Amino acid sequence: MNTLRAAGYVVSRALRGMAQAPMVQLLAVATTAVCMLLLGTVMLAWTNAQGVADAWGLDVPVTVYLHDDAANDEVDELVTRLREIPEVTRVESITPPQALERLADGLGGDAGMLEGIDAGVLPASIEVHLAEGTPTTFTAALGDKLDAFEVVEEVAIAGAWAEQAQAMLKTVGEMALGAAGLVGFACMAIVWSTIRLAVYARRSEIQILRLVGGSTQFVRGPFIVEGLLQGALGAAMALGILYSGFDTVRPFLEDGLSLLFAAGTLRFFTPTEVAMGIAFGAFVGLLGSRAAAGRYVVT
Partner 1 sequence: MHQFLARMGRSVFSGFARMPILEFSAVTMSYGRGRAKTVALRDVSFCVPEGAFSVLVGPSGAGKSTLLKLVLAMERPDEGTIRVAERDIHRLRKHSIPYLRRNVGAVFQDFKLLPDATPLENVSLALQVLGLPRREVNARASKALKQVELDPGTRRAVCRMSGGEQQRVAIARALSGEPAILLADEPTGNLDPRLSREILDVLGEINANGTTVMLATHDPIVRESGRVTHELELADGRLLNDTLADAMVPLDRESEADTEPRLAPGAMPVGAVA
The CB-of-299 to partner 1 minimum distance in angstroms stands at 5
Q: Which of 107, 46, 40 is nearest to 278 (CA)?
A: 40
224 in Cβ contact with 26 (< 8 Å): no
Toward partner 1, which CB reaches closer, 23 or 211? 211
User: Considering the rule CB under 8 A, would residue 171 count as an interface residue with partner 1?
Assistant: no
- CA-to-CA distance for 191 and 288, rounded, in angstroms? 5
Sequential DSSP letters for 102-162: HHHHHHGGGGGGGTT--GGGSPPEEEEEE-TT--HHHHHHHHHHHHTSTTEEEEEE--HHH
Q: Which residues contact 294 (CB under 8 A, 6 or more apart)?
A: 220
10 in Cβ contact with 221 (< 8 Å): yes
> What region does 149 belong to: left with phi over 0, alpha with psi -120 to 50, or beta?
beta
Scanning 173-181, 182-190, 213-221, 256-264 for contacts with partner 1 by CB under 8 A, the matching segment is 213-221
Toward partner 1, which CB reaches closer, 222 or 227? 222
Near partner 1 by CB under 8 A: residue from 46, 149, 192, 218:
218
User: Considering the rule CB under 8 A, would residue 19 count as an interface residue with partner 1?
Assistant: no
Scanning 24-32, 140-148, 202-210, 267-275 for contacts with partner 1 by CB under 8 A, the matching segment is 202-210
User: Considering the rule CB under 8 A, would residue 1 count as an interface residue with partner 1?
Assistant: yes
User: Considering the rule CB under 8 A, would residue 80 count as an interface residue with partner 1?
Assistant: no
The CB-of-24 to partner 1 minimum distance in angstroms stands at 18
Near partner 1 by CB under 8 A: residue from 101, 154, 205, 273:
205
User: Considering the rule CB under 8 A, would residue 9 count as an interface residue with partner 1?
Assistant: yes
- CA-to-CA distance for 87 and 149, rounded, in angstroms? 19
Near partner 1 by CB under 8 A: residue from 80, 95, 207, 258:
207
Site residues (CB under 8 A) for partner 1, limited to 249-288 = none
Size of interface with partner 1, in residues (CB under 8 A): 20
User: Considering the rule CB under 8 A, would residue 212 count as an interface residue with partner 1?
Assistant: yes
List Cα–Cα distances, 184 to 28, 191, 196, 288, in angstroms: 14, 11, 18, 10
Scanning 3-11, 175-183, 264-272, 279-287 for contacts with partner 1 by CB under 8 A, the matching segment is 3-11
- CA-to-CA distance for 184 and 286, rounded, in angstroms? 11
Residues that bind partner 1 (CB under 8 A): 1-3, 5-6, 9, 204-205, 207-216, 218, 299
